[in-house]
Structure 1
Amino acid sequence: MAEKQPASGPEENSVSSRIMHFNQQAEQHQQWMMINPFAHYNVSEMPKRSFGQEEYGRAPAGSRSEQRALAANVQVLQEILQLCEQIEKSGQEDPEGHGSKTVEFGALFDLYNDISDKLLATLLGARKYGFVDFSGETLFQGRDETVPVRLVRPFQELKTEILAKVEDLQCIYVEKIDMEATTLRQD
Structure 2
Amino acid sequence: MAGNQLTGQEDTSVSSRITLFNQAAEQHQNWMMINPFAHYNVSDMPKRCFGQDEYGKPPAGSLSEQRALQANVWALEQMLQLCEVIENNGEPDPVDPRLRRLEFGQLFNLYNDISDKLMGTMLAARKNGFVEFSGETLFQGRDEVVPVRLLRPFQQLKIEILAKIEDLRCIFTEKPLETFLRHD
TM-score, scaled to structure 1 = 0.87
Please tell me the residue identity of whatever aligns with 2:24: Q
Please tell me the residue identity of whatever aligns with 2:100: K
User: SS in structure 2 opposite 1:60?
Assistant: coil
Gaps of 5+ in 2: none
1:48 aligns with 2:47: yes
Name the residue aligned to 1:141: 140
Per-residue deviation, 1:178: 5.4
Per-residue deviation, 1:180: 1.5
1:25 aligns with 2:10: no
**Is the contact between residue 98 and residue 153 of structure 1 (CA under 8 Å) also seen in structure 2?**
no
For residues 20 and 178 of structure 1, do their structure 2 counterparts lie closer, same or farther at Cα, with a shift above 3 Å needed? Answer: farther
For residues 95 and 180 of structure 1, do their structure 2 counterparts lie closer, same or farther at Cα, with a shift above 3 Å needed? Answer: same
The residue correspondences of 1:1-187 to structure 2 (distance < 5 A) are 4-5=4-5, 6-7=8-9, 12=13, 16=16, 20-97=19-96, 99-177=98-176, 180=179
Please tell me the residue identity of whatever aligns with 2:23: Q
User: SS in structure 1 opposite 2:38?
Assistant: coil
Gaps of 5+ in 1: none
Per-residue deviation, 1:179: 6.2
Q: Distance in 2 between matches of 1:3 and 1:83?
A: 78
User: SS in structure 1 opposite 2:148?
Assistant: strand
For residues 95 and 65 of structure 1, do their structure 2 counterparts lie closer, same or farther at Cα, with a shift above 3 Å needed? Answer: same
> Once superposed, which parts of structure 1, at least 4 consecutive aligned residues long, lie more than 6 Å away?
none
Q: Distance in 2 between matches of 1:19 and 1:79?
A: 53
Q: Which has the higher contact order (CA 8 A, sep 6+)?
A: 2
Q: Distance in 2 between matches of 1:122 and 1:25?
A: 45
Q: Distance in 1 between matches of 2:47 and 2:97?
A: 51
Q: Distance in 1 between matches of 2:84 and 2:124?
A: 15
**Is the contact between residue 67 and residue 173 of structure 1 (CA under 8 Å) also seen in structure 2?**
yes
Q: Distance in 2 between matches of 1:148 and 1:76?
A: 22
Per-residue deviation, 1:41: 0.3
What is the aligned residue count?
A: 179
Give the RMSD, CA atoms, in angstroms: 2.4
Q: Tell me whether 93-102 or 128-137 shows the greater mean CA deviation.
A: 93-102
**Is the contact between residue 94 and residue 101 of structure 1 (CA under 8 Å) also seen in structure 2?**
yes
